[in-house]
Amino acid sequence: MGAASMASMQGKRILLGLTGGVAAYKSAELTRLFIKAGADVRVVMTEAATRFIGPVTLQALSGQAVYTDLWDPRIADNMAHIELSRDRDLMLVAPATADFLAKIANGLADDLLSTLCIARRCLLLVAPAMNVEMWSSPATQRNVALLRADGVTVLGPAAGDQACGETGMGRMLEPEQIFAELMSQFAPRLLRGKRVLVTAGPTFEPIDPVRGITNISSGKMGYAVAQAAVEAGAEVTLVSGGTSLVTPAGVTRIDVQSARDMRDAVMTRVKKCDVFIAVAAVADYHVVGAKSQKIKRGDGNLTLELAPNPDILAEVAKLPRAPFCVGFAAETEKLHEYAQAKRKKKKIPLLAANLAQHAFGQDTNALTLFDDKGEHVLPRAPKIVLARQLLAHVAAMLRR
Ligand code: PMT
């Protein structure tokens, strides 16, 4: 995977807006990260933001004048509310207070930053930061829904300890996370026009109406792959076993239970796909003669008969006009040996191997990719970062 195929912050022109929240101090670090990565950062602050952090700090970190006033005499034609955003690739408001979200959701423009938001032509991202009750209040949730519907990207917030001493949703994302989100906005659309089908999560094989056999896959890796595919410009369908995850924006999700349900959902859609990525932890067996009534406890042993499930990935790979197939393999030992064997057995061009104990349920992972050219190590990182690297690799293989 060449460095050129990955996102770059070099030369990107960002307008960073700060509103009045304690998290404003984190935006100093965020500015530093942008500058270090080669971005051009113009900072605009609301009057309230200047109560939390001095404009001089942001001026020093960004290396540029900081703007706070709609009537700034440094702008010769007095059009600060237009000019300051026209040459920008993207606007980011971090932290964004409940009041500021309310304002821009309703098109109010009574200071420089809110006026820039409504007069902009570029993308707008906001990173909310507020008390847990303010965040969960119906008014804020309404405003956030309005902003999303208007195409504004809402980053976070996260859950955790808050400056006010309470705990819950409302913390601004950490500077590194916001930085990563912006990187993804600048990612080249390597899979533009491609249709990608992803499986994710565990399957559930019923024993009776209230019991079944499943596994500990959380779906995080598969959902990250679906998100990264959307970011790369693909049209994405996600066939998902039971998870508690939120569907990534722009992804069409189909919920399934058993491996056989997953097979049916995949087979009806796969013919229209260019790429199939099997991240799901599919049960190898199902229970023969699952009961329609709850099994009663008896005195003796209870024996379950298990029959093999269809191998979805192998079936897709065997299709006459098979899409480009990517398999996953979670092993507890002999990762290389078993993963290589799986790639050969399923006759797929690319397989991503991970160590089960470091992959299932975790937010981070490490992958080794096996293809016809050998192996490629993707060191431990958040699953979304690995998913982006995996898709850049897929895109490079498709181009070959
Ligand atoms: O969901 P998370 O908690 O984030 O964890 C992610 C993960 C560990 C589940 C994921 O990274 C992963 O490794 N998934 C594959 C799990 C596995 O070991 O699968 P397998 O060895 O049983 O199957 C190999 C490949 O064939 C997989 O791509 C699988 O989706 C596919 N398969 C397997 C069996 C089957 N009946 N049908 C299939 O399509």
DSSP 8-state symbol, 165: S
Testing ligand 1's pocket by substitution, the residue of 198, 214, 215, 217 carrying the most ligand atoms inside 8 A of its CB is: 217
Judge whether residue 362 has pLDDT over 80.
yes
Regarding the beta carbon of 367 and ligand 1, being less than 6 Å apart is answered no
Candidates 122, 164, 273, 325; catalytic one: 164
DSSP 8-state symbol, 67: B
Query: Which residues make up the CATH 3.40.50.10300 domain(s) of the chain?
Result: 195-399
Q: Which atom in ligand 1 lies closest to the alpha carbon of residue 356?
A: 8
Report how far ligand 1's centroid is from the alpha carbon of 201 (Å). Answer: 8
Nearest to 277 by CA among 380, 386, 175: 386
Regarding the beta carbon of 265 and ligand 1, being less than 6 Å apart is answered no
The beta-strand segments (E) located in the chain are 13-18, 40-45, 90-96, 123-128, 153-154, 158-161, 167-171, 195-200, 205-208, 211-213, 235-240, 251-255, 275-278, 285-287, 306-308, 324-331, 350-355, 364-371, 374-382
**Domain 195-399 belongs to what architecture?**
3-Layer(aba) Sandwich (3.40)
Report how far ligand 1's centroid is from the alpha carbon of 346 (Å). Answer: 13
Q: Return the pLDDT at 1.
A: 39
Q: Return the pLDDT at 369.
A: 98
Nearest to 317 by CA among 351, 288, 340: 351
Residue type at position 153: T
Quick one: average pLDDT of 31-35?
Answer: 97
For the domain spanning 3-185, the CATH number is: 3.40.50.1950
User: Mind listing the pLDDT tens digit for each residue in 34-46?
Assistant: 999 999 999 999 9
Q: Is 122 a catalytic residue?
A: no
User: Mind listing the pLDDT tens digit for each residue in 324-337?
Assistant: 999 999 999 999 99
Q: Return the pLDDT at 6.
A: 52
Report how far ligand 1's centroid is from the alpha carbon of 345 (Å). Answer: 15
User: Mind listing the pLDDT tens digit for each residue in 279-324?
Assistant: 999 999 999 999 999 999 999 999 999 999 999 999 999 999 999 9
Report how far ligand 1's centroid is from the alpha carbon of 105 (Å). Answer: 42
Judge whether residue 248 has pLDDT over 90.
no
Q: Are 363 and 314 in contact (CB under 8 A)?
A: no
Judge whether residue 61 has pLDDT over 60.
yes
Report how far ligand 1's centroid is from the alpha carbon of 271 (Å). Answer: 21
Least confident span in 39-53, 108-122, 175-189, 378-392? 175-189
Judge whether residue 217 has pLDDT over 70.
yes
Starting at the earlier edge strand, list the strands of the sheet with 153-154: 40-45, 13-18, 90-96, 123-128, 153-154
The span from the CA of 213 to the CA of 203, in Å, is 8
Quick one: average pLDDT of 104-126?
Answer: 96
Q: Which atom in ligand 1 lies closest to the alpha carbon of residue 329?
A: 18
Mean pLDDT, the chain, whole residue set = 94
Judge whether residue 102 has pLDDT over 70.
yes
Q: Return the pLDDT at 321.
A: 95
Judge whether residue 5 has pLDDT over 60.
no
Protein residue with least CA distance to atom 10, ligand 1: 279
Q: Are 184 and 151 in contact (CB under 8 A)?
A: no
Query: Which residues make up the CATH 3.40.50.1950 domain(s) of the chain?
Result: 3-185
Q: Are 101 and 128 in contact (CB under 8 A)?
A: yes
Quick one: average pLDDT of 361-381?
Answer: 95
Q: Return the pLDDT at 121.
A: 92
Q: Which atom in ligand 1 lies closest to the alpha carbon of residue 313?
A: 39
Regarding the beta carbon of 278 and ligand 1, being less than 6 Å apart is answered yes
Q: Return the pLDDT at 3.
A: 37
Judge whether residue 347 has pLDDT over 60.
yes
Regarding the beta carbon of 311 and ligand 1, being less than 6 Å apart is answered yes
Sign, CA torsion 376/334/278/220: negative
Judge whether residue 7 has pLDDT over 70.
no
Q: Return the pLDDT at 4.
A: 36
Regarding the beta carbon of 353 and ligand 1, being less than 6 Å apart is answered no
DSSP 8-state symbol, 64: S
Token output for 355: 């160590």
Quick one: average pLDDT of 104-120?
Answer: 96
Least confident span in 102-106, 304-308, 376-380? 376-380
Percent over 90 (pLDDT), the chain: 85
C-alpha torsion angle, residues 313, 317, 322, 323 (rounded to 10): 50
Identify whether 95 is preceded by a cis peptide bond (ω within 30 of 0).
yes
Q: Return the pLDDT at 48.
A: 98
Q: Return the pLDDT at 117.
A: 97
Q: Return the pLDDT at 265.
A: 98
Regarding the beta carbon of 387 and ligand 1, being less than 6 Å apart is answered no
Judge whether residue 159 has pLDDT over 90.
no
